[in-house]
Homo-oligomer: A and B are copies of this chain.
Amino acid sequence: MNFDPTKSLSGSGDQSATHRTYMMLRRMIVTGVIGPGEKLKIEGLRKRLETGASPIREALSLLTSDNLVERIDQRGFRASPISRENFEEILGLRCALEDMALRQSIAKRNQAWEERVVLSHHHMTRGQGSGDEAFEDLHKAFHMTLLELCEGPILRKFCSQLYDLNIRYRYLAGQSDQYKRRDVSSEHRDIMDAAISGDADLASDHLLSHYRKTGAFLADLFDGTEFS
């Protein structure tokens, strides 16, 4: 007795409701549509996302391990709170792990990889005209491509998680625009050029300084007004 019109989207395979829900919730939390510390009520989300309770609970469980959602036993879920300490830990870990991953990746570089790096950089440059979210996707793709050849999937996963956590702070600060306009292009180009030429030390320097610059920029906001 159950017709779901969204389910019959021409032959091309749907993903599971859980996966859809996971992606939507993640985006909502990262972009700040759902604020830090906000209570995530099943019933509310059920209506908002037009799905049942089970997919939502599962998606939230998944997000828990991404450190985007906290589970309070017997008391539901809430979006992870933010804090200066949290931000600083993310930045520090990110620098350490991406440094490691980038060096491994460069060590194993080959032509196909170099081409993918150039391409993703190009796409990102092009995407500066698009909306914030579209640009951020391309931006992430570029950074992840740089790490693509690193030793293993676990490290890549950690980096990806930390990336999302970091981006979240940028969205919350509402500075995504400003960031895009900052002269970040040259920083990206420096990283890319060094990586492709195989100079791991230089590439890592550029990468970390890129992160720390953005980091210092955001850290100031904590001293400013908001941020409970």
**Interface hits, A150-180 → B, CB 8 Å:** 151-155, 157-158, 162
Q: Would you call A43 an interface residue if the criterion is a C-beta within 8 Å of the partner chain's C-beta atoms?
A: no
Q: How far is the CB of A153 from chain B (nearest CB, A)?
A: 8
State the copy count for this chain: 2
Classify the interface of chain A: helix, strand, loop or mixed.
helix
Which of chain B's residues have a CB closer than 8 A to the CB of A73?
15-16, 19
Q: How far is the CB of A147 from chain B (nearest CB, A)?
A: 14
Check if A152 sits within 8 Å of B54, measured CB to CB. no
The answer to whether A154 touches B67 (Cβ under 8 A) is: yes
A27 to B157 CA separation, bound complex (whole angstroms): 23
A152 and B62 contact, CB distance less than 8 A: no
**A54-B57, A58-B57, A66-B65 known; A89-B152 Cβ under 8 A:** yes
Residues of B contacting A92 with CB < 8 Å? 151
